[in-house]
Amino acid sequence: DSVSSESRGALIVLEGLDRSGKSLQSSRLVSYLEGSGHSVEPWRFPDRTTSVGQMISSYLANKSELDDRTVHLLFSANRWEKRSQMEAKLKAGTTLVVDRYSYSGVAFSSAKGLNIEWCKAPEIGLLAPDLVLYLDIPPEKAAERGGYGGERYEQLEFQKKVAEYYEVLRDSSWKIIDASLPIEEIEKQLQELASECLKECQKGKPLSLLWS
């Protein structure tokens, strides 16, 4: 028969260095999509509310020490424990705007010296984003913004290495946004890119999997 299922939501991921403006832009994008009548939820990784997330959070706050590979796998596990819920929401028509995802996982761990292919492996089979919005900012400029919260990784030299790995990871499908532009200008660009992406998902673009 010709009855098609209700159109699915889009998986939209924001990536970038610390202080690139991801969190602010994610919440503005969520408000915009809500205002346009879409079902949408803000998500973020790490999700610090789970027990895995609490281990990660205490590591980031320098309250515990963990082996580099172990913490990498915890970040990945934190996405795996949310995978079925993400899929269910998307299939039910809810768009997810996600602040950091597997690319953070690979870029940050590779910046510590772990092999990039090893870092990608546990991400294989997670849901692939329909859209990756990369907020591009020179590490020096991000550091100037201040407000590094004193968590592990929030250091200029380390962020420079992370930026290099983001560059290795990025492919032609990523949308690179100049994060030095005024907030409203970035906001407008993200709105246009997200709207385009939602249209494609509504037209029946299938969900796909990492890592491809």
Backbone angles phi, psi at 204, to 5 degrees: 110, 10
- Rule CB under 6 A: say whether 75 interacts with ligand FDM: yes
| CB-based burial label for 212 (10 Å; 0-12, 13-18, 19+) | exposed
- Rule CB under 6 A: say whether 100 interacts with ligand FDM: yes
Q: Among ligand FDM, Mg ion, none, what does residue 148 contact (CB within 5–8 Å per kind)?
A: none
Contact track, Mg ion, 10-39, x by CB under 5 A = --------x---------------------
Cβ atoms of 22 and 100 closer than 8 Å: yes
- Rule CB under 6 A: say whether 80 interacts with ligand FDM: no
Enumerate residues 35-64 that contact ligand FDM by CB under 6 A: 45-46, 60
Enumerate residues 158-197 that contact ligand FDM by CB under 6 A: none
Cβ atoms of 20 and 177 closer than 8 Å: no
Q: Which of 153, 155, 195, 211 binds ligand FDM (CB under 6 A)?
A: 153
Q: Among Mg ion, ligand FDM, none, what does residue 108 contact (CB within 5–8 Å per kind)?
A: ligand FDM
Residues 193 and 113: their CA atoms lie apart, in Å, by 33
Three-state DSSP class for residue 147: coil
Q: Among ligand FDM, Mg ion, none, what does residue 46 contact (CB within 5–8 Å per kind)?
A: ligand FDM
Residue 123 structure tokens? 């991400």
Cβ atoms of 18 and 104 closer than 8 Å: no
Q: How many residues bind ligand FDM (CB under 6 A)?
A: 10
Residue 62 structure tokens? 């320098």
The residues of the shown chain that bind Mg ion, judged by CB under 5 A, are 18
